[in-house]
Structure 1
Protein backbone atom coordinates (compact mmCIF):
# COMPACT_ATOMS: atom_id res chain seq x y z
CA UNK A 1 0.00 0.00 0.00
CA UNK A 2 1.50 3.35 -1.08
CA UNK A 3 0.45 5.33 1.99
CA UNK A 4 2.11 7.93 4.20
CA UNK A 5 1.40 9.26 7.68
CA UNK A 6 -1.74 11.40 7.47
CA UNK A 7 -2.11 15.01 8.60
CA UNK A 8 -3.91 13.60 11.67
CA UNK A 9 -0.68 11.90 12.71
CA UNK A 10 0.02 8.28 13.59
CA UNK A 11 -1.61 5.78 13.42
CA UNK A 12 -3.57 7.40 10.57
CA UNK A 13 -2.28 6.75 7.04
CA UNK A 14 -3.27 8.48 3.80
CA UNK A 15 -3.09 7.05 0.29
CA UNK A 16 -3.48 9.27 -2.78
CA UNK A 17 -5.43 7.67 -5.63
CA UNK A 18 -4.95 9.12 -9.13
CA UNK A 19 -7.71 9.29 -11.74
CA UNK A 20 -7.90 10.46 -15.37
CA UNK A 21 -7.99 14.23 -15.86
CA UNK A 22 -11.33 16.00 -15.96
CA UNK A 23 -12.03 19.38 -17.57
CA UNK A 24 -9.95 21.13 -14.88
CA UNK A 25 -6.94 18.79 -15.05
CA UNK A 26 -5.52 16.07 -12.77
CA UNK A 27 -7.90 14.49 -10.25
CA UNK A 28 -7.18 12.54 -7.06
CA UNK A 29 -9.05 11.08 -4.11
CA UNK A 30 -7.50 10.26 -0.73
CA UNK A 31 -8.08 7.11 1.31
CA UNK A 32 -7.33 7.59 5.01
CA UNK A 33 -6.99 4.52 7.23
CA UNK A 34 -6.66 3.61 10.89
CA UNK A 35 -6.28 -0.08 11.62
CA UNK A 36 -7.76 -1.93 14.57
CA UNK A 37 -5.49 -3.28 17.27
CA UNK A 38 -5.43 -6.79 15.82
CA UNK A 39 -5.82 -8.28 12.32
CA UNK A 40 -9.42 -8.39 11.14
CA UNK A 41 -11.46 -9.05 8.02
CA UNK A 42 -13.98 -6.37 9.07
CA UNK A 43 -13.78 -2.79 7.89
CA UNK A 44 -15.69 0.49 7.60
CA UNK A 45 -15.60 2.85 4.63
CA UNK A 46 -16.74 6.37 5.53
CA UNK A 47 -17.67 9.25 3.16
CA UNK A 48 -17.94 12.89 4.27
CA UNK A 49 -20.47 15.58 3.32
CA UNK A 50 -20.31 18.90 1.42
CA UNK A 51 -17.70 21.46 2.53
CA UNK A 52 -16.22 18.72 4.68
CA UNK A 53 -13.51 16.06 4.91
CA UNK A 54 -12.55 13.33 7.35
CA UNK A 55 -11.36 14.59 10.74
CA UNK A 56 -13.78 12.75 13.10
CA UNK A 57 -11.12 10.72 14.89
CA UNK A 58 -13.46 9.65 17.67
CA UNK A 59 -15.62 7.92 15.09
CA UNK A 60 -12.65 5.97 13.72
CA UNK A 61 -11.52 4.98 17.20
CA UNK A 62 -15.02 3.76 18.10
CA UNK A 63 -15.02 1.41 15.11
CA UNK A 64 -11.48 0.24 15.89
CA UNK A 65 -12.59 -0.67 19.40
CA UNK A 66 -15.30 -2.88 17.89
CA UNK A 67 -12.68 -4.73 15.87
CA UNK A 68 -13.09 -2.92 12.53
CA UNK A 69 -10.33 -1.42 10.42
CA UNK A 70 -11.45 2.11 9.57
CA UNK A 71 -11.13 3.82 6.19
CA UNK A 72 -12.35 7.28 5.21
CA UNK A 73 -12.46 8.65 1.69
CA UNK A 74 -11.84 12.31 0.91
CA UNK A 75 -13.60 12.51 -2.45
CA UNK A 76 -12.15 14.37 -5.41
CA UNK A 77 -11.92 18.14 -4.83
CA UNK A 78 -12.55 17.81 -1.09
CA UNK A 79 -10.18 18.14 1.85
CA UNK A 80 -6.90 16.30 1.27
CA UNK A 81 -7.86 15.84 -2.39
CA UNK A 82 -8.28 19.52 -3.35
CA UNK A 83 -5.68 20.70 -5.86
CA UNK A 84 -4.91 24.38 -6.69
CA UNK A 85 -6.31 24.18 -10.23
CA UNK A 86 -9.70 22.82 -9.07
CA UNK A 87 -13.07 24.30 -8.11
CA UNK A 88 -13.43 22.95 -4.56
CA UNK A 89 -16.23 20.40 -4.06
CA UNK A 90 -17.55 20.75 -7.63
CA UNK A 91 -18.87 18.01 -9.90
CA UNK A 92 -21.57 18.21 -12.55
CA UNK A 93 -22.86 14.67 -11.95
CA UNK A 94 -22.83 12.68 -8.71
CA UNK A 95 -21.69 9.63 -10.67
CA UNK A 96 -18.31 11.35 -11.01
CA UNK A 97 -17.71 10.20 -7.44
CA UNK A 98 -18.35 6.54 -8.26
CA UNK A 99 -14.78 5.82 -9.48
CA UNK A 100 -13.47 7.19 -6.15
CA UNK A 101 -15.72 4.79 -4.26
CA UNK A 102 -14.90 1.91 -6.64
CA UNK A 103 -11.17 2.42 -6.08
CA UNK A 104 -11.54 2.60 -2.30
CA UNK A 105 -13.75 -0.49 -2.27
CA UNK A 106 -11.28 -2.50 -4.35
CA UNK A 107 -8.41 -1.58 -2.03
CA UNK A 108 -10.38 -2.46 1.11
CA UNK A 109 -11.76 -5.77 -0.14
CA UNK A 110 -9.43 -7.20 -2.79
CA UNK A 111 -6.09 -5.75 -1.73
CA UNK A 112 -6.55 -5.62 2.06
CA UNK A 113 -8.72 -8.73 2.31
CA UNK A 114 -11.80 -7.46 4.14
CA UNK A 115 -14.86 -9.65 3.63
CA UNK A 116 -17.31 -7.80 5.92
CA UNK A 117 -17.58 -4.06 5.22
CA UNK A 118 -19.92 -1.44 6.68
CA UNK A 119 -20.34 1.64 4.49
CA UNK A 120 -20.84 4.94 6.33
CA UNK A 121 -21.60 8.46 5.17
CA UNK A 122 -22.64 11.91 6.36
CA UNK A 123 -24.93 14.52 4.75
CA UNK A 124 -24.19 14.80 0.99
CA UNK A 125 -22.14 11.63 1.29
CA UNK A 126 -25.33 10.04 2.58
CA UNK A 127 -26.93 10.73 -0.80
CA UNK A 128 -23.95 9.66 -2.93
CA UNK A 129 -23.27 6.40 -1.08
CA UNK A 130 -26.73 4.78 -1.51
CA UNK A 131 -26.83 5.81 -5.18
CA UNK A 132 -23.45 4.14 -5.69
CA UNK A 133 -24.41 1.03 -3.71
CA UNK A 134 -27.65 0.67 -5.67
CA UNK A 135 -25.87 0.91 -9.03
CA UNK A 136 -22.94 -1.30 -8.01
CA UNK A 137 -25.01 -3.89 -6.10
CA UNK A 138 -23.76 -6.90 -8.07
CA UNK A 139 -20.15 -6.18 -7.15
CA UNK A 140 -20.61 -5.44 -3.44
CA UNK A 141 -20.85 -8.91 -1.96
CA UNK A 142 -18.85 -7.80 1.08
CA UNK A 143 -21.30 -4.99 1.97
CA UNK A 144 -22.71 -5.97 5.36
CA UNK A 145 -24.48 -2.75 6.35
CA UNK A 146 -24.75 1.00 5.86
CA UNK A 147 -24.80 3.82 8.45
CA UNK A 148 -26.09 7.18 7.20
CA UNK A 149 -25.55 10.18 9.47
CA UNK A 150 -28.06 12.94 8.58
CA UNK A 151 -28.14 12.07 4.86
CA UNK A 152 -29.19 14.83 2.46
CA UNK A 153 -32.23 13.24 0.82
CA UNK A 154 -34.21 16.34 -0.25
CA UNK A 155 -33.73 20.06 -0.72
CA UNK A 156 -34.56 22.04 2.39
CA UNK A 157 -37.10 24.85 1.99
CA UNK A 158 -40.64 25.31 0.74
CA UNK A 159 -42.54 23.06 -1.65
CA UNK A 160 -42.35 25.85 -4.24
CA UNK A 161 -38.55 25.91 -3.99
CA UNK A 162 -38.33 22.14 -4.30
CA UNK A 163 -40.56 22.04 -7.40
CA UNK A 164 -40.43 25.22 -9.47
CA UNK A 165 -37.05 26.13 -8.02
CA UNK A 166 -35.63 22.75 -9.01
CA UNK A 167 -36.77 23.22 -12.61
CA UNK A 168 -34.94 26.54 -12.74
CA UNK A 169 -31.83 25.03 -11.15
CA UNK A 170 -31.71 22.20 -13.68
CA UNK A 171 -32.12 24.59 -16.62
CA UNK A 172 -29.41 26.87 -15.28
CA UNK A 173 -27.20 23.87 -14.58
CA UNK A 174 -27.34 22.93 -18.27
CA UNK A 175 -26.74 26.45 -19.60
CA UNK A 176 -24.31 27.88 -17.03
CA UNK A 177 -23.06 25.10 -14.74
CA UNK A 178 -20.35 27.23 -13.11
CA UNK A 179 -22.69 30.07 -12.21
CA UNK A 180 -22.61 30.60 -8.46
CA UNK A 181 -25.96 30.32 -6.67
CA UNK A 182 -26.38 33.23 -4.25
CA UNK A 183 -27.01 32.11 -0.68
CA UNK A 184 -26.52 33.42 2.83
CA UNK A 185 -24.18 31.35 5.00
CA UNK A 186 -23.76 32.63 8.54
CA UNK A 187 -21.10 30.15 9.61
CA UNK A 188 -22.96 29.17 12.78
CA UNK A 189 -22.72 25.44 12.13
CA UNK A 190 -18.94 25.34 11.61
CA UNK A 191 -18.45 27.76 14.50
CA UNK A 192 -20.47 25.46 16.76
CA UNK A 193 -17.93 22.70 16.00
CA UNK A 194 -14.51 24.36 15.83
CA UNK A 195 -12.57 24.60 19.08
CA UNK A 196 -11.33 28.12 18.29
CA UNK A 197 -14.94 29.33 18.24
CA UNK A 198 -17.88 27.67 20.07
CA UNK A 199 -17.02 23.97 19.70
CA UNK A 200 -14.54 21.30 20.76
CA UNK A 201 -13.21 19.93 17.47
CA UNK A 202 -10.07 20.69 15.50
CA UNK A 203 -10.29 20.83 11.70
CA UNK A 204 -8.58 22.67 8.86
CA UNK A 205 -10.55 25.80 8.01
CA UNK A 206 -8.94 25.93 4.57
CA UNK A 207 -10.68 22.60 3.80
CA UNK A 208 -13.85 23.14 5.83
CA UNK A 209 -14.37 26.92 5.87
CA UNK A 210 -16.59 28.55 8.47
CA UNK A 211 -18.81 29.92 5.70
CA UNK A 212 -18.67 26.80 3.52
CA UNK A 213 -17.73 26.77 -0.18
CA UNK A 214 -19.62 28.41 -3.06
CA UNK A 215 -22.48 26.41 -4.57
CA UNK A 216 -22.70 26.31 -8.36
CA UNK A 217 -25.70 25.64 -10.58
CA UNK A 218 -24.27 22.49 -12.17
CA UNK A 219 -23.45 20.94 -8.79
CA UNK A 220 -26.88 21.77 -7.32
CA UNK A 221 -28.58 20.36 -10.42
CA UNK A 222 -26.58 17.16 -9.92
CA UNK A 223 -27.80 17.02 -6.33
CA UNK A 224 -31.43 17.43 -7.41
CA UNK A 225 -31.03 14.68 -10.00
CA UNK A 226 -29.66 12.50 -7.22
CA UNK A 227 -32.57 13.35 -4.94
CA UNK A 228 -35.03 12.44 -7.68
CA UNK A 229 -33.30 9.12 -8.32
CA UNK A 230 -33.33 8.18 -4.65
CA UNK A 231 -36.93 9.27 -4.13
CA UNK A 232 -38.06 6.97 -6.94
CA UNK A 233 -36.75 4.17 -4.74
CA UNK A 234 -33.43 2.34 -4.47
CA UNK A 235 -32.83 -1.32 -3.76
CA UNK A 236 -29.94 -1.34 -1.28
CA UNK A 237 -30.16 -4.89 0.06
CA UNK A 238 -28.04 -4.66 3.21
CA UNK A 239 -29.39 -3.36 6.55
CA UNK A 240 -29.31 0.45 6.68
CA UNK A 241 -29.26 2.66 9.78
CA UNK A 242 -30.28 6.30 9.32
CA UNK A 243 -29.52 8.71 12.18
CA UNK A 244 -30.52 12.33 12.51
CA UNK A 245 -31.32 14.92 15.12
CA UNK A 246 -34.90 14.99 16.37
CA UNK A 247 -35.30 18.67 15.50
CA UNK A 248 -34.33 21.24 12.87
CA UNK A 249 -34.14 24.99 13.21
CA UNK A 250 -32.72 28.06 11.46
CA UNK A 251 -31.25 30.21 14.25
CA UNK A 252 -30.39 33.87 13.71
CA UNK A 253 -27.46 33.85 16.14
CA UNK A 254 -25.33 31.52 18.22
CA UNK A 255 -27.51 30.03 20.95
CA UNK A 256 -28.32 26.70 22.58
CA UNK A 257 -30.43 25.62 19.57
CA UNK A 258 -27.34 25.67 17.36
CA UNK A 259 -25.83 22.94 19.53
CA UNK A 260 -28.97 20.79 19.88
CA UNK A 261 -30.72 20.93 16.49
CA UNK A 262 -29.89 20.17 12.88
CA UNK A 263 -29.39 23.68 11.53
CA UNK A 264 -28.36 22.45 8.06
CA UNK A 265 -31.05 19.98 6.90
CA UNK A 266 -34.73 19.32 7.57
CA UNK A 267 -34.98 16.18 9.69
CA UNK A 268 -38.55 15.58 8.48
CA UNK A 269 -37.16 15.09 4.97
CA UNK A 270 -34.58 12.64 6.29
CA UNK A 271 -37.27 10.67 8.10
CA UNK A 272 -39.62 10.70 5.11
CA UNK A 273 -37.17 9.60 2.44
CA UNK A 274 -35.03 7.16 4.43
CA UNK A 275 -37.46 4.37 3.58
CA UNK A 276 -36.69 4.90 -0.14
CA UNK A 277 -33.10 3.71 0.33
CA UNK A 278 -33.62 -0.02 0.54
CA UNK A 279 -35.31 -3.10 1.88
CA UNK A 280 -34.29 -2.94 5.52
CA UNK A 281 -33.98 0.60 6.90
CA UNK A 282 -33.92 1.57 10.58
CA UNK A 283 -34.44 5.27 11.32
CA UNK A 284 -33.45 6.77 14.69
CA UNK A 285 -33.90 10.39 15.77
CA UNK A 286 -31.26 11.31 18.37
CA UNK A 287 -32.60 13.92 20.83
CA UNK A 288 -30.44 17.03 20.94
CA UNK A 289 -28.07 15.98 18.15
CA UNK A 290 -26.31 18.29 15.73
CA UNK A 291 -26.28 17.87 11.95
CA UNK A 292 -23.25 15.59 12.31
CA UNK A 293 -24.58 13.38 15.08
CA UNK A 294 -21.14 12.06 16.08
CA UNK A 295 -19.99 15.67 16.63
CA UNK A 296 -22.91 16.42 18.95
CA UNK A 297 -22.63 17.41 22.59
CA UNK A 298 -21.55 14.52 24.85
CA UNK A 299 -24.99 13.17 25.80
CA UNK A 300 -26.53 12.95 22.27
CA UNK A 301 -23.15 11.81 20.93
CA UNK A 302 -23.18 8.90 23.38
CA UNK A 303 -26.77 8.12 22.37
CA UNK A 304 -25.77 8.04 18.70
CA UNK A 305 -22.92 5.62 19.35
CA UNK A 306 -25.18 3.46 21.49
CA UNK A 307 -27.74 3.29 18.67
CA UNK A 308 -25.07 2.31 16.13
CA UNK A 309 -23.84 -0.39 18.49
CA UNK A 310 -27.33 -1.79 19.09
CA UNK A 311 -28.03 -1.82 15.36
CA UNK A 312 -24.75 -3.58 14.59
CA UNK A 313 -25.46 -6.25 17.19
CA UNK A 314 -29.01 -6.80 15.92
CA UNK A 315 -28.43 -6.78 12.15
CA UNK A 316 -24.77 -6.75 11.10
CA UNK A 317 -22.17 -8.30 13.42
Structure 2
Protein backbone atom coordinates (compact mmCIF):
# COMPACT_ATOMS: atom_id res chain seq x y z
CA UNK A 1 0.00 0.00 0.00
CA UNK A 2 1.32 3.40 -0.93
CA UNK A 3 1.31 5.74 2.06
CA UNK A 4 1.27 8.99 0.10
CA UNK A 5 -2.52 9.26 0.06
CA UNK A 6 -2.58 9.29 3.88
CA UNK A 7 -0.49 12.44 4.09
CA UNK A 8 -2.49 15.42 2.93
CA UNK A 9 -0.75 18.65 3.84
CA UNK A 10 -1.17 20.54 6.02
CA UNK A 11 -3.01 17.89 8.06
CA UNK A 12 -0.97 15.44 10.12
CA UNK A 13 -1.96 11.77 10.20
CA UNK A 14 -3.74 10.98 13.47
CA UNK A 15 -2.59 7.90 15.40
CA UNK A 16 -4.41 6.16 18.21
CA UNK A 17 -3.43 6.45 21.89
CA UNK A 18 -2.38 4.04 24.60
CA UNK A 19 -3.82 0.54 24.32
CA UNK A 20 -3.22 -0.56 27.90
CA UNK A 21 -5.19 2.25 29.55
CA UNK A 22 -8.25 1.53 27.39
CA UNK A 23 -8.03 -2.18 28.17
CA UNK A 24 -7.77 -1.42 31.88
CA UNK A 25 -10.80 0.86 31.60
CA UNK A 26 -12.60 -2.18 30.17
CA UNK A 27 -11.74 -4.13 33.32
CA UNK A 28 -8.75 -6.10 32.01
CA UNK A 29 -5.98 -7.02 34.47
CA UNK A 30 -2.65 -6.36 32.74
CA UNK A 31 -0.36 -7.02 35.72
CA UNK A 32 1.49 -9.70 33.80
CA UNK A 33 4.84 -10.05 32.03
CA UNK A 34 3.04 -10.22 28.67
CA UNK A 35 1.06 -7.05 29.46
CA UNK A 36 -1.53 -6.40 26.72
CA UNK A 37 -0.26 -9.40 24.73
CA UNK A 38 -1.74 -11.83 27.26
CA UNK A 39 -5.19 -10.88 25.96
CA UNK A 40 -4.35 -12.18 22.48
CA UNK A 41 -5.23 -15.65 23.78
CA UNK A 42 -7.38 -14.84 26.81
CA UNK A 43 -9.63 -11.98 25.70
CA UNK A 44 -9.23 -10.99 22.04
CA UNK A 45 -12.64 -9.26 22.02
CA UNK A 46 -11.29 -6.69 24.48
CA UNK A 47 -8.51 -5.80 22.05
CA UNK A 48 -10.98 -5.41 19.19
CA UNK A 49 -13.15 -3.13 21.33
CA UNK A 50 -10.13 -1.00 22.30
CA UNK A 51 -9.20 -0.55 18.64
CA UNK A 52 -12.80 0.37 17.85
CA UNK A 53 -12.81 3.11 20.47
CA UNK A 54 -9.84 4.75 18.78
CA UNK A 55 -11.33 4.36 15.33
CA UNK A 56 -14.50 6.05 16.57
CA UNK A 57 -12.32 8.82 18.03
CA UNK A 58 -10.85 9.59 14.62
CA UNK A 59 -7.60 7.61 14.55
CA UNK A 60 -6.37 7.10 10.99
CA UNK A 61 -3.83 4.51 12.06
CA UNK A 62 -4.15 1.91 14.82
CA UNK A 63 -1.20 0.07 16.36
CA UNK A 64 -1.49 -3.65 17.06
CA UNK A 65 -1.26 -5.35 20.45
CA UNK A 66 2.06 -7.05 19.63
CA UNK A 67 4.30 -4.60 21.52
CA UNK A 68 5.10 -7.12 24.23
CA UNK A 69 4.36 -10.23 22.15
CA UNK A 70 7.57 -12.02 21.23
CA UNK A 71 8.23 -15.67 20.47
CA UNK A 72 10.62 -15.89 23.43
CA UNK A 73 8.20 -14.22 25.83
CA UNK A 74 5.22 -16.33 24.78
CA UNK A 75 7.23 -19.55 24.96
CA UNK A 76 8.30 -18.62 28.48
CA UNK A 77 4.59 -18.59 29.35
CA UNK A 78 4.20 -22.14 28.07
CA UNK A 79 3.14 -21.63 24.46
CA UNK A 80 4.77 -23.66 21.69
CA UNK A 81 6.85 -21.83 19.09
CA UNK A 82 4.13 -22.41 16.50
CA UNK A 83 1.42 -21.06 18.81
CA UNK A 84 3.58 -18.06 19.74
CA UNK A 85 3.91 -17.11 16.07
CA UNK A 86 0.16 -17.54 15.59
CA UNK A 87 -0.59 -15.21 18.50
CA UNK A 88 1.77 -12.54 17.16
CA UNK A 89 -0.01 -12.69 13.80
CA UNK A 90 -3.35 -12.66 15.62
CA UNK A 91 -2.62 -9.12 16.79
CA UNK A 92 -2.90 -7.98 13.16
CA UNK A 93 -6.01 -10.08 12.55
CA UNK A 94 -7.74 -8.43 15.54
CA UNK A 95 -6.90 -4.97 14.21
CA UNK A 96 -8.29 -5.99 10.82
CA UNK A 97 -11.46 -7.22 12.49
CA UNK A 98 -11.87 -3.91 14.29
CA UNK A 99 -11.46 -2.02 11.02
CA UNK A 100 -14.01 -4.27 9.30
CA UNK A 101 -16.52 -3.69 12.10
CA UNK A 102 -16.00 0.06 12.02
CA UNK A 103 -16.54 0.18 8.27
CA UNK A 104 -19.57 -2.14 8.39
CA UNK A 105 -21.22 0.01 11.06
CA UNK A 106 -20.34 3.17 9.10
CA UNK A 107 -18.38 4.44 12.09
CA UNK A 108 -15.64 5.33 9.63
CA UNK A 109 -15.69 5.88 5.88
CA UNK A 110 -12.03 5.55 4.92
CA UNK A 111 -9.95 2.48 5.71
CA UNK A 112 -7.23 3.35 8.24
CA UNK A 113 -3.68 2.06 8.38
CA UNK A 114 -2.68 -0.84 10.60
CA UNK A 115 0.79 -0.59 12.14
CA UNK A 116 2.29 -3.80 13.55
CA UNK A 117 3.93 -2.93 16.87
CA UNK A 118 7.49 -4.09 17.47
CA UNK A 119 8.55 -3.17 20.98
CA UNK A 120 12.12 -3.02 22.30
CA UNK A 121 13.99 -5.91 23.88
CA UNK A 122 13.20 -4.32 27.24
CA UNK A 123 9.49 -4.97 26.71
CA UNK A 124 10.24 -8.71 26.58
CA UNK A 125 12.20 -8.42 29.84
CA UNK A 126 9.13 -6.74 31.42
CA UNK A 127 11.30 -4.99 33.99
CA UNK A 128 11.06 -1.40 32.78
CA UNK A 129 14.45 -1.56 31.06
CA UNK A 130 13.03 0.06 27.94
CA UNK A 131 13.22 3.23 30.04
CA UNK A 132 17.03 3.06 30.20
CA UNK A 133 18.13 0.61 27.47
CA UNK A 134 20.91 -1.00 29.49
CA UNK A 135 20.03 -4.63 28.77
CA UNK A 136 23.44 -6.19 29.33
CA UNK A 137 23.13 -8.47 26.27
CA UNK A 138 25.19 -8.85 23.11
CA UNK A 139 24.41 -7.36 19.72
CA UNK A 140 23.67 -10.87 18.45
CA UNK A 141 21.02 -11.47 21.10
CA UNK A 142 19.26 -8.29 19.99
CA UNK A 143 19.59 -9.23 16.31
CA UNK A 144 18.07 -12.66 16.84
CA UNK A 145 15.29 -11.30 19.03
CA UNK A 146 14.17 -8.64 16.57
CA UNK A 147 14.74 -10.60 13.36
CA UNK A 148 12.24 -13.32 14.25
CA UNK A 149 9.34 -11.03 15.11
CA UNK A 150 10.08 -8.64 12.24
CA UNK A 151 9.98 -11.59 9.87
CA UNK A 152 6.63 -12.75 11.27
CA UNK A 153 4.94 -9.35 11.12
CA UNK A 154 6.47 -8.42 7.77
CA UNK A 155 4.54 -11.35 6.35
CA UNK A 156 1.24 -10.18 7.81
CA UNK A 157 -1.46 -7.94 6.33
CA UNK A 158 -0.31 -4.97 8.39
CA UNK A 159 0.32 -1.87 6.29
CA UNK A 160 3.55 -1.04 8.06
CA UNK A 161 5.86 -1.94 10.95
CA UNK A 162 6.07 0.29 14.02
CA UNK A 163 9.38 -0.14 15.86
CA UNK A 164 8.63 1.84 18.98
CA UNK A 165 9.96 2.94 22.37
CA UNK A 166 13.56 2.29 21.27
CA UNK A 167 15.77 3.54 24.13
CA UNK A 168 19.33 3.12 22.88
CA UNK A 169 21.72 3.67 20.00
CA UNK A 170 22.70 0.00 20.05
CA UNK A 171 19.14 -1.20 19.54
CA UNK A 172 18.58 1.43 16.86
CA UNK A 173 21.61 0.12 14.94
CA UNK A 174 20.30 -3.46 15.16
CA UNK A 175 16.89 -2.38 13.84
CA UNK A 176 18.42 -0.30 11.07
CA UNK A 177 20.12 -3.41 9.72
CA UNK A 178 17.16 -5.77 10.26
CA UNK A 179 14.66 -3.50 8.51
CA UNK A 180 16.71 -3.43 5.30
CA UNK A 181 15.53 -6.94 4.53
CA UNK A 182 11.76 -6.50 4.81
CA UNK A 183 9.37 -5.50 2.08
CA UNK A 184 7.15 -3.29 4.20
CA UNK A 185 7.38 0.40 5.13
CA UNK A 186 8.37 1.05 8.72
CA UNK A 187 8.72 3.77 11.29
CA UNK A 188 11.18 3.92 14.17
CA UNK A 189 10.34 5.94 17.27
CA UNK A 190 12.62 6.50 20.24
CA UNK A 191 11.95 6.96 23.94
CA UNK A 192 13.72 10.02 25.30
CA UNK A 193 14.59 11.35 28.73
CA UNK A 194 14.72 15.01 27.73
CA UNK A 195 14.45 17.14 24.60
CA UNK A 196 17.88 16.13 23.30
CA UNK A 197 18.70 12.58 24.42
CA UNK A 198 17.40 9.03 24.24
CA UNK A 199 16.97 7.18 27.52
CA UNK A 200 20.50 5.76 27.20
CA UNK A 201 21.96 9.26 26.87
CA UNK A 202 22.60 9.23 23.10
CA UNK A 203 21.74 12.45 21.29
CA UNK A 204 18.59 12.11 19.22
CA UNK A 205 20.36 13.42 16.09
CA UNK A 206 22.81 10.51 16.13
CA UNK A 207 20.04 7.93 16.23
CA UNK A 208 17.84 9.64 13.67
CA UNK A 209 20.80 9.91 11.28
CA UNK A 210 20.94 6.11 11.10
CA UNK A 211 17.68 6.18 9.16
CA UNK A 212 17.98 9.34 7.05
CA UNK A 213 18.64 7.33 3.88
CA UNK A 214 17.07 4.05 4.97
CA UNK A 215 15.13 2.44 2.12
CA UNK A 216 12.34 0.99 4.28
CA UNK A 217 11.98 3.51 7.11
CA UNK A 218 9.63 6.29 6.03
CA UNK A 219 9.26 8.03 9.41
CA UNK A 220 11.30 8.63 12.54
CA UNK A 221 10.36 10.22 15.83
CA UNK A 222 9.59 9.68 19.47
CA UNK A 223 7.01 7.95 21.64
CA UNK A 224 6.51 7.15 25.33
CA UNK A 225 8.20 10.45 26.14
CA UNK A 226 6.93 13.33 28.26
CA UNK A 227 4.91 15.89 26.26
CA UNK A 228 7.01 18.78 27.51
CA UNK A 229 10.04 17.45 25.59
CA UNK A 230 8.31 16.87 22.25
CA UNK A 231 8.66 20.34 20.69
CA UNK A 232 12.41 20.41 21.28
CA UNK A 233 12.80 16.88 19.96
CA UNK A 234 10.88 17.69 16.77
CA UNK A 235 13.31 20.52 16.03
CA UNK A 236 16.34 18.26 16.52
CA UNK A 237 14.80 15.45 14.47
CA UNK A 238 13.96 17.70 11.52
CA UNK A 239 17.57 18.91 11.46
CA UNK A 240 18.81 15.32 11.10
CA UNK A 241 16.38 13.69 8.68
CA UNK A 242 16.43 13.48 4.91
CA UNK A 243 12.80 14.11 3.97
CA UNK A 244 11.51 11.45 6.36
CA UNK A 245 8.14 11.91 8.02
CA UNK A 246 8.29 12.98 11.65
CA UNK A 247 6.18 10.99 14.10
CA UNK A 248 5.40 11.88 17.73
CA UNK A 249 3.15 10.09 20.18
CA UNK A 250 4.08 10.97 23.75
CA UNK A 251 2.72 9.59 27.00
CA UNK A 252 0.81 11.66 29.52
CA UNK A 253 3.91 12.75 31.41
CA UNK A 254 3.47 10.42 34.39
CA UNK A 255 6.21 8.19 35.79
CA UNK A 256 5.98 4.39 35.47
CA UNK A 257 6.90 2.06 38.34
CA UNK A 258 8.07 -1.20 36.76
CA UNK A 259 7.77 -3.16 40.02
CA UNK A 260 4.16 -2.28 40.80
CA UNK A 261 3.27 -1.72 37.11
CA UNK A 262 1.50 1.51 38.05
CA UNK A 263 1.76 5.15 37.02
CA UNK A 264 2.47 7.89 39.55
CA UNK A 265 2.87 11.62 39.64
CA UNK A 266 1.19 14.56 38.02
CA UNK A 267 -0.10 13.92 34.53
CA UNK A 268 -0.22 16.36 31.64
CA UNK A 269 -3.09 15.12 29.46
CA UNK A 270 -5.11 18.29 30.01
CA UNK A 271 -2.42 20.13 28.06
CA UNK A 272 -2.04 17.44 25.44
CA UNK A 273 -4.43 18.81 22.84
CA UNK A 274 -3.09 22.35 23.11
CA UNK A 275 0.50 21.11 22.88
CA UNK A 276 -0.30 18.97 19.84
CA UNK A 277 -1.16 22.12 17.88
CA UNK A 278 2.39 23.30 18.41
CA UNK A 279 3.79 19.93 17.28
CA UNK A 280 1.80 20.17 14.08
CA UNK A 281 3.02 23.72 13.53
CA UNK A 282 6.63 22.58 14.05
CA UNK A 283 6.24 20.00 11.32
CA UNK A 284 5.13 16.73 12.89
CA UNK A 285 3.56 14.63 10.14
CA UNK A 286 2.08 11.91 12.37
CA UNK A 287 0.69 12.65 15.85
CA UNK A 288 -0.90 10.41 18.45
CA UNK A 289 -0.55 9.32 22.03
CA UNK A 290 1.12 6.61 24.06
CA UNK A 291 0.61 5.45 27.66
CA UNK A 292 -2.28 7.14 29.50
CA UNK A 293 -3.47 9.05 26.46
CA UNK A 294 -6.98 7.83 25.63
CA UNK A 295 -9.70 8.06 22.96
CA UNK A 296 -11.02 11.34 24.35
CA UNK A 297 -7.61 12.97 23.80
CA UNK A 298 -7.35 11.61 20.27
CA UNK A 299 -10.86 12.77 19.43
CA UNK A 300 -10.28 16.31 20.69
CA UNK A 301 -6.85 16.48 19.12
CA UNK A 302 -8.13 15.31 15.75
CA UNK A 303 -10.84 17.95 15.67
CA UNK A 304 -8.77 20.82 17.00
CA UNK A 305 -5.63 20.17 14.98
CA UNK A 306 -7.56 19.94 11.74
CA UNK A 307 -9.38 23.16 12.57
CA UNK A 308 -6.12 24.80 13.61
CA UNK A 309 -4.09 23.88 10.52
CA UNK A 310 -7.00 24.00 8.10
TM score, norm. by length of structure 1: 0.40
TM-score calculated relative to the size of structure 2: 0.41
More helix by share: 2
The structure in which a higher percent of residues are strand is 1
Higher Cα Rg, which structure: 1
Ranked by relative contact order (alpha carbons within 8 Å, sequence separation 6 or more), the top structure is 2
